[in-house]
Amino acid sequence: MKYKLLASTGLYVSELCCGTMTFGGSGFWGAVGKMQQNDVNAMVNRCLDAGINFFDTANVYSEGQSEELLGRALGAKRKEVIVATKVCGRMGPGANSIGLSRVHILNEVHASLKRLNTDYIDLYQIHGMDPMTDMEIVLRTLDDLVRSGKVRYVGCSNLMAWQLMKYLGISHRKNLEAFVSLQALYTVANRDPEREIIPLLQDQRLGLLVWSPLAGGFLSGKYTRQSAGEQGARRTIFDFPVIDKERAYNIIEVMTKIAGARGVSVSQVALAWLLHQPAVTSVIIGAKKMDQLEDNLPAVKLALSADEMNELNSISALPPEYPGWMQEFTKKTSGRVPPEK
């Protein structure tokens, strides 16, 4: 297992992160997985044995059960690992049981600490954008949590580039704790972050944590134009996240060819492609069975050749989009060459 710096925090996290959306089984996200304590214990211990020191959860996963199961599984090993969780989603029927108000964040951080059986959270992330709450209020609340010691670092998830940059600008101007990472959907078949988000993260030196690296199992090799997946597979009952399936099938065909030549699984090729991306800090893998985890782990050792990367990049390339294509055109025709860094 390799370890990468999380932005400029000085904190090292494993390049694979154990995602825990499959822990539990209740509520909206229960369709993703229904793992209970014994299986969770086994999976967490296997991750630790493999060198994974990074675990990601959220208060909304199985209505808090994911955090509880993870907390019990880690037990005395809590201080050996980095634990990330999130806040924003609905956690009750009340009008204020959702969002990023000071009230909701403070209520939920204490609830998460109790469920995780810990007195601090390493990385506390806002789970999305709350247009009803002023950004400075969100940041001041998070800043207070860091100053209190209940939270070590703060991050975000599912933000647009302009929203993230606005948050960073407020943090800088007001001397408030700033986000150190963004958690985003990014796969060989979902390369949209390359347009605006990844250039921003690289410019501002933030970490990129990838969720659903196999696009909800669609890039596992189980789904082809000829096969819609086995009965009961996640995608057959919960078709998420959004993916251009026809485009993805073309990519899967190339990954299948590479996987066959290398003697590895299609999943490993999809994960290895992500691990080759310089902007990626950690890839969150979320298995619901031990054999899925065992299949994912060897991806860290799969070094794709330049030809294989070129083939994957070519088949998965994003179509040109304005103003990106205009800036490229201007750069090529102006004769103005940027200085080397």
Residues 6+ apart with CB under 8 A from 90: 60, 97, 98
Instruction: Give Cα separations from 106 to 103, 111, 132, 294 (angstroms).
Output: 5, 9, 17, 38
Residues 163 and 200: their CA atoms lie apart, in Å, by 11
Alpha helices by DSSP H, listed for the chain, are 37-49, 65-74, 102-116, 135-148, 161-174, 197-204, 234-237, 245-262, 266-275, 290-296, 306-316, 324-334
Whether 223 sits among the annotated catalytic residues: the reply is no
Angle at which helix 37-49 crosses helix 65-74, to 10 degrees, equals 50
Beta bridge partners, 155, equal 125
Catalytic residue among 12, 61, 120, 322: 61
Just list the catalytic residues: 61
